[in-house]
Structure 1
Amino acid sequence: MIVDAQVHIWAADRPDRPWRPGEAHRAHREVPLSAQALLEEMDAVGVDRAILVPPSWEGDRNDLVLEAARTHPDRFGAFGRIPVVEAQGRAEFGDLAQAPGLLGLRFTFHKEKSLQEFLDGVPEWLWSAAQAAEIPVMVHAPRALHRVEKLARDYPRLRIIVDHMGMERPHQDAAAFAHLPDLLRLAACPNIAVKATALPSYSSEAYPYPALMDPIRQVVRRFGASRVFWGSDMTRVDAPYRQIVTHFTEAMPFLSEADKALIMGGALCDWLGWSMDAELAAEPMR
């Protein structure tokens, strides 16, 4: 089974469902990607399941990803977004945590304001609530991996997934992996896993992106294949979807067949408790 650890779907910016002001330029495609269109792209390249993540330009909206997960529980799971400030986010947390199809929550701390909030401990209530509710979190904080490590140690039952192997645009090649020692150190925390997502974006080379091979090998060696999750982020990656798949399934000789079975989907389903049974997959996380 091949499971994509991150794909965005979204709807058009319109008066009854407006995007965040000034965010239109950040949309990955001119035409929004619907759940049905994504299914067609997945089927064309042999991807069985996908984790749907609301894009930031829409704001903290979860309606589309939750509806897709409810409609296609055998194909989609949702990672929701809520505000990290307690006064705004706590009211949404309870309802979202109970939503069918929700497998976790995703938070990004790569812009200056959100990064400072993360460093200052603004979301502290959130980590406690997520741990108590047994809800995994995806965290994109490429300049604050030390804070992710502290988070993992402070909340040892909170399952944390580091986005994009800790990388940040626009860095590529060796510059993209300047943080690698900090990322590898996180492997000592058993409640941290890594998303190997959007990787072609961090290479200036053509497929199969030779400069990425050794860092990927080091990450797999240190974390183990059971804590590395392949994903595409295909709407923002300038590479064919099939090629993003074969980058791992065909172009990495250091991966065994057992490694690939885990990295390409088995490990993620296990980490999230995403049952192979479609009916069970529709139940919320606990």
Structure 2
Amino acid sequence: MTFVLAMVWRELRATWHRFLFFFPMCCCRCRWHYRYSVACAKRADCVGLRGSQPKSRGVYLRTDQPWAQETRDAVLSRLGGIADVSLTETVDTVTMARVVADDAGRTKVVEVRAVQEAFPFYGRFALESGREYSSLLLEQRGALGLGPEVLTQLELSVGDRIAIGNSEFTIRDVIVAEPGRQLGGFSFGPRVLVAYDDLNQTGLLDLAIRAERQILLKGSRGIYHLCCRFTAGGSSRNLCELGSYRRTENRIERHLGRAEDYLSLIGFVVLIIGGIGVWSVTRVFVQQRLRSVAVMKCLGATTERILASMFQVPCWV
């Protein structure tokens, strides 16, 4: 046994430089794979946690055209048989906002969102002033800017007035966090929140502009399947899209899962290549030791000791 250990120590001292670069690279790859897997798992848990909130039951009907009266009647008639169902409407459009107090007529492209009193169904707004959000802030042509960048880009402060269409609005506060905002959504500019009826008075909806109208629904899980049947059996005047607020979160979760699968595939390929490398190094090592084996046989070493000493080195490696 002493002879075998002595030979193993001798061979390891002679070949350690061959593995000086191989082992650190394997360690780095394993560490990177582990850290990325943990990060993907944490993000997936975060997305799953968001999806487990009651907001996952909220669905919406969306269209780019004004709602036909028959569509409203059909929605209300279908929802009449479901208990604890709430409904509210929003309108999103892109237009120009002008600073009233600016003689130079400074303007900026903004996204205007008009909401009713019941909005939002889930979550709540976080205002920069710290007070609770209320629909009273939007009364008498009040407006809320989404994010401090609104005031920065327009060079405004709370209390200043901006003109949108034919109406003037007063900035009442700044929204720090908005519920229901989809992650990674494209934005044409800063967002401004106004009352639903005030947007109708601006005259923007009378023009041929692109406005996204939504009917937000809050209720039990069966409401989604009911809306599916409603959109599937609609007429040509009832062209609307059915969606859920889990759509973006599910997309992110799928992308994370796909990235983790690709990473596992790459790790498997690297493992195969590493195994081929170890086999190649071991084969070269054995070929280089053929003369040493012949010398030890001439000196009287038994086959068992020679095999033990030769195979111990790859096992230790």
Give me the TM-score of the superposition, normalised by structure 1.
0.26
Give me the TM-score of the superposition, normalised by structure 2.
0.24
